[in-house]
Amino acid sequence: MSECIFCQIIAGDIPSNRVAESDAAYAFTDINPHAPVHVLVVPKIHVESADHLTTEQASVMGDMILLAQEVADVSGIRESGYRLIMNVGPDAWMSVPHLHLHVLGGQRLAGHLG
């Protein structure tokens, strides 16, 4: 079994609250939500972070954005808007080393970053 927690979630070995799914990506609710809607979109292949993405893997980023659109749709926040966040490395507090996109919305978010 993979030691990666998100690979285990994708495999169904760790339970998750599924929001949407495509051939290339999986979306599930964040266990520690920072907004009324807080969903994680992860590629089904293991990529450590955005900084590790190779040219051959580059299309998974588009797949993740397309699934994020569907997440926004089914979560009812496509009109009101949402924030996509991708943390990379220690200064960004990346805590799970499997590429993931945070989809945040459902309220007026802070008007600044960082």
> What pairs with residue 104 in β-bridges?
38, 83
CB neighbours of residue 23 within 10 Å = 7
Scanning residues 86 to 105, which ones bind Zn ion (CB under 5 A)? Answer: 98
Q: Indicate whether 95 belongs to the interface with ligand AMP (CB under 6 A).
A: yes
Separation of alpha carbons 93 and 89, rounded Å:
6
Nearer to ligand AMP, 39 or 79 (CB): 39
From 52-60, 66-74, 91-99, 104-112, span contacting ligand AMP (CB under 6 A): 91-99
Report in angstroms how near the CB of residue 34 gets to Zn ion at its nearest: 22
Choose among 6, 18, 20, 14: nearest CA to 65: 20
Provide CB contacts within 8 A for 73, sequence distance 6+. Answer: none
Report in angstroms how near the CB of residue 26 gets to ligand AMP at its nearest: 11
Active site (annotated) includes residue 100: yes
Instruction: Kindly list the catalytic residues.
Output: 100
Give me the residues that bind Zn ion (CB under 5 A), please: 4, 6-7, 46, 98
